[in-house]
Amino acid sequence: MKPVELFPVLASDLAETDRVIRQRLGSEVALINSISDYIIGAGGKRMRPLLLLLFARALGYKGASNHYLLAAVVEFIHTATLLHDDVVDESALRRGRETANHAFGNAASVLVGDFLYSRAFQMMVEVNDMRIMRVLADATNTIAEGEVLQLINCNDPDTDEGRYLQVVRYKTARLFEAAAQLGAILCGAAPVVEAAAAEYGRRLGTAFQLIDDVLDYSGVTGDIGKNVGDDLREGKPTLPLIHVMLRGDETERAMVRRAIEQGSTEQFESIMAAIHRTGALDYTRERARGEAAAARATVATLLPDGATSVYRDALLYSTTYSIERDR
């Protein structure tokens, strides 16, 4: 589903954000325009800019355009990480079509990712708010650390749940957290409200990534927009595999260990059988439900139960969508 179909209350805000995104993608370098348009034009869930817009509206933002500008900044940062990720992971499919690195080459993808990072920083300066710039700068730095941590974990079957969750919180949840926090900062929210918004984003982002890891072993390529089994092919010890390493029998553990070390999908069917026998997907979903429930709990701090707000309802719905989606 398109973002506007999930959150019709934000239809006009999303349309304006998309306008800003396309306007600010422009460059005098034709290849930059081609690659930027290629990946942005592929769509995506826009969850991070959605969070910023939702919090800005829920908390009563009255400004003219900074929420659109910062929503675009968040999407540019996210898109830059995707361009770099696909090169590192040697991915072939993203959002249902060939990755930019396959279509244009690794060098071009990395450099255009750098362009999007630098364009995002040009744009955030326009807001002229040091706190906002610090939140975004810190988030971008943490994401980079998460990328390196994931690289360290790759092909390491001894990665435990704690190390895995650290990568999730650094690499994925951190930008969700920043987006929600920025919505609160734009409204001049009290520190306790800002902290609750950040907590909501962090928890939602963690749940979102956990379900992504479930879908890598249970989804349909045409639905999830990437190849099923990519994580295993890349040697990534995500939570379903970590659970098999903990709960599987000796044969299953040895099989998963080899697959992670070699980045091999040769025994994919047998590994899937071990994942199902040990309840690894159910365990990962349950962990995601716990994160989503924690995100829901923060809404009470942000907006009292008696408050009637379509944006409050959308924040609550986001926690349900994050764990029930199939793509």
- Domain of residue 61, CATH code: 1.10.600.10
Is residue 3 domain-resident? no
Return the exposure string of 201-219: e unless at least 16 CB atoms fall within 10 Å of the residue's CB, then b: bbbbbbbbbbbbbbbbbbb
The number of domains in the chain is 1
Residue 2 lies in a domain: no
CA triplet 201, 284, 1: central angle to 5 degrees?
A: 60
Distance of CA 314 to the CA centre of its chain: 18
Q: Considering the domain boundaries, does residue 194 fall inside one?
A: yes
pLDDT tens, the chain, 327 aa long = 556 677 888 999 999 999 999 999 988 999 999 988 888 777 678 899 999 999 999 999 998 889 999 999 999 999 999 999 888 877 777 666 788 888 888 999 999 999 999 999 999 999 999 999 999 999 999 999 999 999 999 999 999 999 999 999 999 999 999 999 999 999 999 999 999 999 999 999 999 999 999 999 986 554 445 577 889 999 999 999 999 999 999 999 999 999 999 999 999 999 999 999 999 999 999 999 999 999 999 998 787 655 558 898 999 999 999 999 887
**Distance between first and last Cα of the chain:** 9
- Partners of 97 in the beta sheet? 94
In contact, 95 and 43? CB cutoff 8 Å: yes
Identity of the amino acid at 161:
E
190 Rama class: left (phi>0) / alpha (psi -120 to 50) / beta: beta
The full DSSP string for 40-51 is HTT----HHHHH
In a domain, 312, yes or no: yes
Domain assignment present for 267? yes
Please state, in angstroms and as integers, the Cα–Cα distance from residue 117 to each residue in 5, 51, 111, 142, following that order.
28, 20, 10, 14
Q: Which domain holds residue 94?
A: 8-324
Give the tokens for residue 269.
């069917």
